[in-house]
Amino acid sequence: MSRPIVAVVGRPNVGKSSFFNKICGERISIVDDMPGVTRDRIYADAEWCGKEFTLIDTGGLDPKSDDIFQEVIQEQANIAMDIADVIVMIVDGKTGVTTADEILAKKLRVTTKPVVLVVNKLDRFNIEDVYEFYQLGLGDPLPLSCAQSKGIGDVLDVITSFFPKVDLDENNLGIKIAVVGRPNVGKSSIINRLVGEKRVAVSDIEGTTRDAVLIPFRYNKKTYQLVDTAGLRRSRGVEQESVEGYSVLRTMRAIEKADVVLIVFDSTANLTEQDIRIAGYVHEAGKPSVVVMNKTDIMERKKQQITEELKKQLAFMSYLQTVFISAKEGTRLGDIMPAVLRVYENASKRITTGLLNDILQDAILNFEPPAKKGKKIKLSYITEAETNPPTFVIFCNDAKLVNFSYQRYLENQLREKVDFSGTPIKIILKTKGEDE
């Protein structure tokens, strides 16, 4: 059985994201005083007293808001409540019952799912402050102060009491695939196409996705995890302490935690400095990747030209793997997952020490390392130390003498003999006698 799902709903600024972050133990969902900050469904796994579950944070629901994203927020919250096993409604104990609370409560009263009503911001923890919330007709209101971490355990006890017994298999979680790129290149549209439903907000307005959204999905009877991320703009245009600044940090963390990264470019526009910088982030993180050229429904004749341009602009990614798709038209989406699995397999390869040393000796015979300061360089042997990315250690008489150009030559020799397409590889030179 899968993990129970708990959806957290409520109007803006009642502390939903603070509650979400407290339970998950890290700052995953954005906490900000500006209404409408959380727009998508934000997923995270949590555990309480041995019971594991998936928590979903949703956008603030305000029927009277003129926020242009409110319709999308409502749609995402509805989906979260539909798939949830338990629904948690957060209200504000300082402001009392509002019209928005009453509208949401009316909807929840007709659901057959368990609803847990939580009254947040009770910093003095006066129990009598929850009494007026009985009028919402959702059962006993539970007092909570997220700011002071009061009442969280009691709330979790009630939530988990509704869980069925589950038999979890962590091995079924699958590899994690982060989707990154500049704003408005079609990342969310690609994910929605792959998953087969509107799982993340899609809009032509830049900055629609601000959180890193975790989305489990099935492919060929196996489970994988897609991570939609905020569009990365030039850092000079982003204040580090702003909501968007935190989004960039979460995107960088998503790259670091990913097993494979989809780098999405807009094929109808020229490759920008920021496109190259994003690819550089992924390369420096050592992640296998697939470059997804989106919007190619009107660029079919220019594929070869685009490919050549990519090779020039992303010369540091000699292992580049590219697919051409159109998320809007739904064409060639089937090329993405085979490419993802191929590059992940290449990044996970274990090469025998015997084969590696045969490759090394052939490379030396073809081109000996140049002497430095009259001292000859002797490369003794090579071994693979790690995978993801493949990391090779070469022992020699003096590692300081081997220049960058020769290291690049050795990398090219490895790539000629073994398929490492789609993944960076690392070569570490060590002086013989150093700790391995």
**Residuewise pLDDT in 10s, the chain (436 residues):** 456 889 899 998 898 888 888 887 755 444 444 444 444 457 777 888 888 888 888 887 877 766 666 777 788 788 788 878 899 999 999 999 999 999 999 999 999 999 999 999 998 888 888 999 999 999 999 999 998 889 999 999 999 999 876 444 444 467 899 999 888 888 888 988 888 765 554 444 444 444 456 778 888 888 888 887 765 555 444 443 333 334 455 677 778 889 999 999 998 888 888 899 889 999 999 999 999 999 887 666 678 888 889 999 999 999 999 999 998 888 899 999 999 999 999 999 999 999 999 999 999 999 998 887 778 889 999 999 999 999 999 999 988 889 999 999 999 999 999 999 999 999 999 997 655 4
Tokens encoding 149: 């971490």
- CA distances to 52, 167, 186 from 164, rounded to whole Å, are 11, 10, 38
At residue 12, φ and ψ (nearest 5 deg) are: -60, 150
Q: Which domains does the chain have, with CATH numbers?
A: 5-161 (3.40.50.300), 170-347 (3.40.50.300), 353-431 (3.30.300.20)
Cα separation, 227 vs 209, in Å, equals 11
Cα separation, 242 vs 31, in Å, equals 11
- CA distances to 36, 176, 429 from 138, rounded to whole Å, are 25, 37, 65
Q: Strands across the sheet with 426-431, in order?
A: 379-386, 391-396, 426-431
Does residue 389 have a cis bond before it (omega within 30 degrees)? yes
Kindly report the number of other CB atoms within 10 A of residue 207's CB atom.
Answer: 15
Cβ–Cβ < 8 Å for 185, 231: yes
Cα separation, 238 vs 16, in Å, equals 25
